Amino acid sequence: MTNQITSTAPQGTSPADAGDRITTLLAHADDNMVLAQRLGELISNTAELEIDIALGNKALDHLGVARALYTHAGSTEGEGRTEDDLAMFRTERDYTNLLLVEQPNGDFAHTMVLQLFFDAYQMELWKDLSGSPDLTLGGIAAKALKEATYHLRFSSGWVIRLGDGTEESHHRVQDGVDALWRYTSEMFEGAAEKYRSAWTTSIEAAFVDANLEIPSDPYQRTGGRGGFHTEHLGFLLAEMQWMQRSYPGLQW
């Protein structure tokens, strides 16, 4: 049995266009792959069964999006690279995910702030890409948009509950915001600038309800899209890739 993703890429585009499209597909695939792996670390480790299941489901959604995008990138490239090749045999410098998604989970408040920042970004991204002339990408985005809607309800709900909760929960969630804010500008580099204003509106609305403050320190870190990462990604990839690297081609 073969399982092929039918390619519906627009015809007649130049190799340069195809190169750009592959770069973009891989960047979004890497974001979802890395976050899926991060969330996977929490399975059986959260304080409540419902949270455990919710985050496991969220990880699965991101993994599914990553698989579809890697497969599509591989078929667009046309050199026979599969989703496994792209996920398991590219190094830290090849990965172009956002620095945000590779950050460690921290405490629950910190994890929820990270999800909120990323979920609100993906809402805008998938809304935009669901109208892509590349119909396979459009289909992946349309599906991912529905999932992102659930993700955002979950993460914003928790950030508001924690921010507007006890003194301790408020303090922890504000700490998460202070630690992660520096990784948010990177989401809007280049053509992604168009997502910034809707994202900001969505975050500000949640912060009003949660009594949270946007940090006054303007410092921002970037580099992920160019393959320059924080120290955390190497460890994450080492754990994720060691099996395929030790036993290439190993299957379930």
Binding of residue 165 to another protein (CB under 8 A): no
CB of 84 to another protein, least distance (A): 14
Residue of 30, 31, 61, 83 that binds another protein (CB under 8 A): 61
Contact 70, 29 (CB under 8 A): yes
Q: Rounded CA gap, 40 and 64, in Å?
A: 13
129, 140, 236, 240: which one binds another protein (CB under 8 A): 140
Q: Are 63 and 32 in contact (CB under 8 A)?
A: yes
In angstroms, the CA 121 to CA 127 distance is 10
Q: Which two tokens stand for residue 133?
A: 């002339």
Nearer residue to another protein within complex by CB, 3 or 14: 3
The pair phi, psi for residue 7, each rounded to 5°, is: -85, 130
Least distance in angstroms from the C-beta of 13 to another protein: 18
Among 42, 142, 179, 198, indicate the residue that binds another protein (CB under 8 A). Answer: 142
38 near another protein (CB under 8 A): no
Q: Is 40 a binder of another protein (CB under 8 A)? A: no
Among the candidate windows 134-142, 161-169, 185-193, 236-244, which touches another protein by CB under 8 A?
134-142
Query: Cα dihedral sign for 100, 105, 108, 109?
Result: negative
- As measured in angstroms, the least distance from the Cβ of 119 to another protein is 13
154 touches another protein (CB under 8 A): yes
Q: Which of these, 113, 111, 97, 122, lies nearest to 237 by C-alpha position? A: 97
CA distance 170 to 59: 26
Please report whether residue 5 would count as binding another protein according to CB under 8 A.
yes
Q: In sequence order, what are the residues at sequence separation of 6 or more whose Cβ sits closer than 8 angstroms to the Cβ of residue 242?
A: none
Which residue among 21, 62, 225, 229 contacts another protein (CB under 8 A)? Answer: 62
Which residues in this chain contact another protein in the complex, by CB under 8 A? Answer: 1-6, 8, 50, 53-54, 56-58, 60-65, 67-68, 135-136, 138-140, 142-144, 146-147, 150, 153-154
